[in-house]
Amino acid sequence: MITLSWHAFEINNVLTSLNSSTEGLTEEEAHKRLSQYGPNRLRPSKKRSSWSIFLSQFKNLLVYVLLVSAIITLITGHLVDAGVILGVIILNAVIGFIQEGKAEKALDSIREMLTSQANIQRSGKRIMISSENLVPGDIVFLQSGDKVPADLRLINVKNLRIDESSLTGESLNAEKSMLPCNEKAAIGDRNCMAYSGTLITYGQGRGIVVATGDSTEIGKINALLVLAPPMTTRLLLKMSEFTKTLTVVIGILSVTTLVFGVLIRGYSISDMFFAAVSLAVAAIPEGLPAILTITLAIGVQRMAKRNVIIRRLPSVETLGAVTVICSDKTGTLTKNEMTAKTVSTSMNDFEISGVGYETHGTFMTDGSEFSCYLLNKEKFSCDKYPDLIELARGSVLCNDTSLIKVDDKKSVQGDPTEGALIVLGIKAGLDYKSEQSKFPRLDIIPFESEHRFMATLHGRQDSKRIIYLKGAPEQVLELCSYQRSSGNNIAINKNYWKNLINRIAGKGQRTLAIAVKEVTEAHSQLKFEDVQEGMCILGLVGIIDPPSGEATSAIQKCQTAGIRVKMITGDHVLTARAVGFEMGIGDGITALSGHDLNNLKDDEIQRLVKEVDVYARVSPEHKMRLVRAIQANGDVVAMTGDGVNDAPALKQADIGIAMGRKGTEVAKEAAEMILTDDNFASIEHAVEEGRTVYDNIKKAIMFILPTNAAEAGIIIVAIALGRMLPITPVQILWVNMITAVTLALSIAFEPPEEGVMKRAPRDPKESILSPFLIWRIGFVSLILIIGTCGLFFLQRDSGVSIEISRTVAVNTLVAFEAFYLLNTRYIQDSAFTKEGIFGNGYVVAAIGLIILMQALFTYFPPMQSLFGTASLDFMKWFQIIVVASSVFFIVELEKYVLRKHFKFF
């Protein structure tokens, strides 16, 4: 189907271009077009089977390293140990499968947005058909409550309003007309179009189908979702790089050791093969994948308690690396509840406090604040502002909306803008139900886009009649001859009101004008000629979707943490600019629109995103371009959203964040993270948890790798000196899979370090093995090698049996780990405090468990037979504790020196 700018066409041109008429197509023609264009449904993508999703969990070099470890362990004849390693591999795959199994549902959800039935006209007759059978040229009838079944060019409207927020991101219902629009108009400005999947909230209409299936605007979003590649988290990329390096190093060390032992030391090939296998088993961190998975899972559980659901496990860590958050405005940064913030009369300008549909608020004018609530049963505190009271009365009487309570929270039944006017009236001290009783409605001119106002005729207790009118300010001014001043009508000053309109619009507020006219009791009907002249303007009301207070605070915290927040919305530029500035996003002056982005090349956008933080009137394609441009600058991008229009960008971002309450299913399925409370503040909590998770992963690596490096170093030292191996392969597996994993697991429960949200985001290019981490691994490994080998050689040189000597060596290594675990609780701060030693109950419990397990390892006969150990006396344990405790004091001294003289952090 050829895509044309149907919104720019006159109705007759649309009918001619589609070879149709207002009577609709014939059944024969419709059948031909169905064959030509296909069914009105979105083409499904090729879906992965559950089996392929499960197998994909094994496509990771870290898993390959584990498989190599299992094979080597099998070669040594230790089937139980090999089974433990394989169990770790399968556990990782199952967890990944559960977390990622729903990733393909976004396209299914978006396809379900198409309505199932359509009320159409064919051959001059109205019939109901399946929406799948709609074709270009069909005439479709629309009414309140319907979901638009295809993209339509409207040819007839009556008070038609459509909720397009899921498509455009704009909070206000779109008022529709039949007049063509500018060809370059954004989707939100195409008032003569109705788009597939949007909801009719008011009125009726008729339109001609101009696009179906994949050619609709929702179809284009569906295509963008297909094109957006699944993002691989930086943690997985870094772990992949790390395991590649580790595999190469282990291979080189093993081969070098084998060759050295055979050629230089004269060992037999069989003995050196056994030693090389021991070295490989020692160097491979079998427990690391399990620790990573568990650390991430604990982060997920913590986030769930703070209203954040994580759909993909590795995304937890990505949050900690976020440098830019791109946020939608409506319902994410704002309350999605229209609020009257400004009232201007001919005498005064009033600023109104309070947000949303809560009815508590005050007025401020000329620096003084006052309340209009009842002081007693007879008197209002704002009686000295009669023009304000009259405007508020007109706002509640010329109104078809009412306030309701839903779950102890006020909401509106009807149009959100009219709801804001009801709340304004209540804040002005009026009981709107009582006012409607005192001034009963006699007749109405409903709002229509052609005349852009609504008018109502009311009775009064003095038998006179009164007309109230509200609408677009420019239109209302044309009907007014007077303006109200201190209760009197005087000649209107239109320049004054035009300047006022511009000033209020400059704040990003939508402006409504309220007017009044008294008529005689003979008026029982309201006609257009009754309002064409002689109206008196009471004032202007500025309405806005107010920022969320919690979101504003969260933005400040994110900025303190070095995270830049950008607003990307489908709303108007003036509104986006004003709301952004109020929340601390942008400078209140600079903003780019979708039209601006259309005229920019990708490299120009990449440069501008470094400077501009507010983007308005953007389409889904624009959001994708913006996210890609920010990523091209090396930033880690989080994208928040709740509408269908947000889904492609949510999928493109490093981490997509969807709203759980107001978000569409499409947005939720495209995202990695869902906020159950729709609160931007929860993102700040999630970032804190993400940074903590990454810190804990670093601590786990910083703990596990020195142990593996020390085990490998112990074997290398023994071979280099021509001595017996201090630790056997099965003893190495015991240390790695039992003690190291048990101790390292306790680090996953570490709480956030102080100031975690006051430091800048880490460099996305930073390797998981930073210079400091490499130093610490080497430094601690050396301590462990010297201490373990030293005690082992001391036992052997004293004539102690090989079984007792190796038991001493294993227990020394495990004791080293227990003391070093206390060091790793804080990466740079001192652990030589009561909090540092006893502050994490899991660490204390893990050390206690290890003491028990090592006692069994040393004294339990079946364990002695399995691992080749022997019982130790008190003096041996005293030597072990003295030597092993040295690592705690040496590392704390190293931390002190680094804090004072070096900047490794």
Residue positions annotated with a catalytic role: 328
Rounded-to-integer distance, Cα 207 and Cα 194, Å = 8
Q: Residue 877 half-sphere exposure, CB side, CA atoms within 13 Å?
A: 10
- 845 membership: H or E segment, kind and range: helix 841-859
Q: What six digits make up the tokens of 533?
A: 């002249």
Tell me how long the chain is. Answer: 905
Residue type, 291: I
Query: What is residue 181's three-state secondary structure?
Result: coil
Torsion of CA 418, 662, 685, 648, to 10 degrees: -120
Distance of CA 262 to the CA centre of its chain: 58
Q: Is the dihedral of CA 730, 731, 732, 738 positive or negative?
A: positive
Ranges of H-type helices in 798-831: 802-823
Concatenating the DSSP letter of every residue in 610-658 gives TT--EEES--HHHHHHHHHHHHHTT--EEEEE-SGGGHHHHHHSSEEEE
Angle at 182 between CA 176 and CA 183, to 5 degrees: 115
Between the alpha carbon of residue 205 and those of residues 187, 430, 445, 564, 883, the distances in Å are 19, 36, 18, 44, 86
**116 Cβ contact partners less than 8 Å away, ≥ 6 residues apart:** 130, 131
Q: At 494, which amino acid appears?
A: K
Instruction: Give long-range contacts, CB 8 A cutoff, 24+ apart: 519-524.
Output: 519/457, 519/464, 519/465, 519/466, 519/467, 520/464, 520/465, 521/463, 521/464, 521/465, 523/442, 523/457, 523/465, 524/442, 524/443
Return the sign of the alpha-carbon dihedral for residues 241, 244, 248, 254: positive
Going by their DSSP bridges, the two strands 174-175 and 151-163 should be labelled as antiparallel
Distance (Å, rounded) from C-alpha 456 to C-alpha 446?
8
Strand order in the sheet with 308-310: 308-310, 673-675, 655-659, 637-641, 324-327, 564-568, 614-616, 592-593
Cβ contact 467:398 at 8 Å: no
Which residue, 434, 234, 244, is CA-closest to 321? 234
Residue 271 Cα distances to 275, 719, 733, 868, angstroms:
6, 11, 19, 18
Distance, CA of 412 to CA of 868 (rounded, Å): 77
Share of the chain residues as helix, strand and coil, in percent rounded to the nearest 5:
50, 15, 35
Taking the C-alpha atoms of residue 106 and residue 554, their distance in angstroms, rounded to an integer, is 28
Single-letter amino acid code for the residue at 40: N
Q: How many CA atoms lie within 13 A of 822 on its CB side?
A: 26
Angle between helices 416-427 and 386-397 in degrees, nearest 10: 140
